[in-house]
Amino acid sequence: MPSTELVFVALGSNLGDRRAHLEAARRKLANLPNTSVLAESAIEKTKPLGPIPQGKYLNQMLLLRTELPPNEVLEAGLEAEMEAGRVRAERWGPRTLDVDLVRFGDRVIREPHLTVPHPELPNRPFWLRELAELLLSVNGHGLPEWARVGASRRNHIRRVAALVEAWGMAMSREPDERARWVRAAFLHDALRDAPEDELARLADRKWDVSGLYHGPAAARLAEEHGETDTGVLDAVRYHSVGYARWDDVGRMLYLADYLEPGRSFKRKKRAALAARVPRKPRGVLERVARKRMTKSQENQGRVIPEEVEFWNHLVGSS
Ligand code: A4P
Ligand code: MG
């Protein structure tokens, strides 16, 4: 049986009837044999990247499921470009249609005519946004059966999970590692809407600060239900305060919890920081920690020891 792969395809156009060009590319790819379009991101208007002065782009990303090999999908993309009347003039110059393979399952391809994952993925904020949007639309809810969350919390959790997964893909992290990030995301607020006294009891009144019990409480239930990964458990336990001995799971969760696009404050600034994570995780972490800690001191009126250790660890190891 041929294997099926999930393929992320980026479309771009900045010449002619841009919407029609994107539409034609979508149709072409959807009509490929043994291929279906699972999801389409919104179409975004973006400023041209690169040194050549040119008009604004419309960009969109598609998620395909296909049994075809990479070359055949690439070929269809190149054909769609030709049918849109594309003239190859200069690299990164204006174009009626550009079809790029961003990721092809978890394959790493380094051939003269095809490089996958696309090397520009970590550098293009709109690709990262579109990727997270697609992951959000296809991922199941992934919550543990003991979760106690209302609808809006559930949506926050799903956005956090999609964001950490998109970062993991842009950073070319292994599937197993990405799965840890996603698992922690689904656990972190799983008890956020449970009654405070119940959370305090589950958390053994750790820190004795209300509003902070849901992390330790969720870590406890996750462990009781079979989660054995210490990095995942520590990510969940300390996600509201930070933790010096975190591995990447904790750091990515801490970042995504604050930077996910559904929160209403400082949207533009946070979106810019979120786009920088794959290239500069360490720098963004420090910025986010500074903001989160200022906020938590305002809310709690005091500082948790783990929070102090986390901060000193961050600035001490730079
Ligand atoms: N090729 C190799 N790897 C791939 C891949 N993963 N996907 C080969 C698709 N093609 C790949 O491409 C040249 C050859 O790359 C293809 O024949 C294929 O065999 P091209 O499309 O002729 O060259 P290009 O597009 O000018 O260069 P490049 O490096 O592909 O540029 P990009 O990444 O396509 O970027 N600004 C905004 N706002 N939005 C954009 O979409 N796009 C570009 C072009 C510049 N600025 C932009 C945007
Ligand atoms: Mg291209």
Which numbered ligand comes closest to the C-alpha of 43?
1
* Residue-level pLDDT at 307: 93
Name the average pLDDT for the chain: 94
Q: How far apart are CA 289 and CA 316, in angstroms?
A: 14
- For the Cβ of 117 lying below 6 angstroms from any atom of ligand 1, the answer is no
Average of pLDDT values for 93-103?
93
* Active site (annotated) includes residue 86: yes
Residue 265 structure tokens: 């404050």
Q: How large is the average pLDDT for residues 164-181?
A: 97
- What share of the chain has pLDDT > 90, as a percent? 86
Distance 98 CA to ligand 2 centre (A): 5
Cβ-proximal residues to 178 (8 Å cutoff; 6+ apart), any chain: 164, 165, 168, 169
The confidence score (pLDDT) of residue 249 equals: 98
- Domains in the chain (CATH in brackets) are 1-118 (3.30.70.560), 119-318 (1.10.3210.10)
Atom of ligand 1 nearest to the CA of 47: 38
Q: Which two tokens stand for residue 189?
A: 């607020």
Average pLDDT over residues 199-227: 94
Query: 71 pLDDT exceeds 60?
Result: yes
Q: What is the reported pLDDT for 252?
A: 98
Q: Which of 21, 46, 49, 100 to mutate to test the pocket of ligand 1 (most atoms within 8 A of CB)?
A: 100
* Mean pLDDT calculated for residue range 177-198: 97
Assess whether the C-beta atom of 118 lies below 6 angstroms from ligand 1: yes
Residue 57 Cβ contacting ligand 1 at under 6 Å: yes
Pocket test for ligand 1, best of 52, 61, 97, 114 (most atoms within 8 A of CB): 114
* CA 91 to ligand 1 center in whole angstroms: 8
Residue 205 confidence class, pLDDT cut points 50, 70, 90: confident
Residue type, 154: R
d(CA 209, CA 191): 16
The helix/strand/coil state of 98 is strand
CB atoms within 10 A of CB 39: 16
3-state per-residue secondary structure call for 247-291: CHHHHHHHHHHHHCCCCCCCHHHHHHHHHHCCCCHHHHHHHHHHH
Does 100 qualify as catalytic in the annotation? yes
Alpha carbon 138 to chain centroid, angstroms: 13
Residues 282-304 have a mean pLDDT of 89
In the structure, what pLDDT confidence band is assigned to residue 300 with cuts at 50, 70 and 90?
Answer: confident
**Environment of ion ligand 2 (residues, CB < 5 A):** 98, 100
pLDDT value at position 86? 81
Q: Average pLDDT for residues 254-271, to the nearest whole number?
A: 96
Query: Which ligand 1 atom is at minimum distance from the Cα of 46?
Result: 38
Q: What is the mean pLDDT of residues 160-176?
A: 97
Phi-psi region of 182 (alpha: psi -120 to 50; beta: other; left: phi over 0): alpha
- Catalytic residue list contains 110: no
The atom number, within ligand 1, closest to the CA of 78 reads 17
Q: Is 279 a catalytic residue?
A: no
Question: Beta-carbon neighbour count of residue 222 at 10 Å?
Answer: 25
Q: Using 50, 70 and 90 to split pLDDT, how confident is the model at 10?
A: very high
Q: How far is it, in rounded angstroms, from Cα 96 to Cα 81?
A: 7
